Structure 1
Amino acid sequence: MAIIDHLDHLVLTCIDEAATRHFYTEVLQMKLETFGAGRTAFRFGNQKINVHVRGKEFEPKAHVPVPGALDLCFIAAVPLDEVIAHLKQCEWPIIEGPVERTGATQKIRSVYVRDPDLNLIEISELI
C-alpha cells in the first residue's frame, strides 16, 4: 500500500501576483482564497495552489523557487471544446492542441497554454 493518497496543494512562485491572479481566477476560473497573513491561493475541487511572489517567499520553501518552472495538467470540469471557447473569449493563446495524451488514469485530450510566468498549463478532458 502506498503512503500517499492525493495532492493537497502545490506552491507556485510568480513574478507579478496581479497577472497570476487574473490568469488563475479569470482564465482558469479558480476561486481566489486568502489565508494567514495575507497569503493568496487558488482553489479548485479539493486542491489549491498557494502563491509565493519571487523574493517574498514563505519559509520553508523550495530549494530554488523559480517562476516558470512548472508543468501542470488539470482535468477540466467541462468538455474541452467549452474550455477552448472560453480561452478564445479570454483571448488567451493555445500553444498546442487539442491533442491526445496519456493521463494518470486514462487517455486524455488536451490543450496547452502558458500562464503569465510561462509555466506550461495543460487542460484536459478524460476520453
Structure 2
Amino acid sequence: MKIDSLDYLVLTVDNMEKTCEFYQKALGMEIHRFDEGRNALKFGIQKINLHQKGNEFDPKALHPMAGSEDLCFITSEKIAEAITHLQLGNISIEEVPSSEQMQWGL
C-alpha cells in the first residue's frame, strides 16, 4: 500500500483556548472555527483538527487523551485493497471510513 499524503491530524487537548492561543502566537497558525463548536489550526494547505478531551468528535481514537493524536492519510488505492493489505499485516482496523467520509476527506 502507498500513502499519497497526510489529509489532517487530530490533536486532543485539555484547554482549547490556550491551545489555539499558543499555536496562533508561537507558530502563526490561523484558528478556524466551523460546524457548531469545532476548531482547527490551519497553516498553508495543512490543518490540525482539535478535539476537546472528553468531548471528542467521531471518528476518534479508541481511548483519546490530552496530547494524543489521530492521523488521516490519503491514498489513491481502492479502500478494499488498503483494508486487505492491513489485514494481511495483522493490523487491526477500528473503523472503516464511510463513503461520505471518503467523499469529504473526513
Residue of structure 1 equivalent to 2:56? 57
- Superposed, 1:82-101 pairs within 5 Å as none
- Counterpart of 1:61, as a letter, is K
Residue of structure 2 equivalent to 1:116? none
Residue of structure 1 equivalent to 2:18? 19
**TM-score, normalised on structure 1?**
0.50
SS at match of 2:6: coil
SS at match of 1:58: coil
- Superposed, 1:44-83 pairs within 5 Å as 44-69=43-68
Distance in 2, matches of 1:4 and 1:36, equals: 28
Regions of 4+ moved over 3 Å: none
1:48 CA displacement: 0.3
Residue of structure 2 equivalent to 1:37? 36
- Superposed, 1:94-113 pairs within 5 Å as none
- Counterpart of 2:22, as a letter, is F
**TM-score, normalised on structure 2?**
0.60
From the two aligned structures, give the one with the greater strand fraction.
1
Residue of structure 1 equivalent to 2:96? none
Query: How many correspondences in the alignment?
Result: 69
- Counterpart of 2:60, as a letter, is K
SS at match of 1:51: strand
1:62 CA displacement: 0.6
SS at match of 2:5: coil
1:28 CA displacement: 1.1
Residue of structure 1 equivalent to 2:6? 7
Distance in 2, matches of 1:26 and 1:64, equals: 30
Task: Judge conservation of contact 1:12–1:51 (CA < 8 Å) in 2.
Answer: yes
Identical pairs, percent? 46
Using CA pairs below 8 Å that are at least 6 residues apart, which structure has the higher relative contact order? Answer: 2
- Counterpart of 1:10, as a letter, is L
SS at match of 1:10: strand
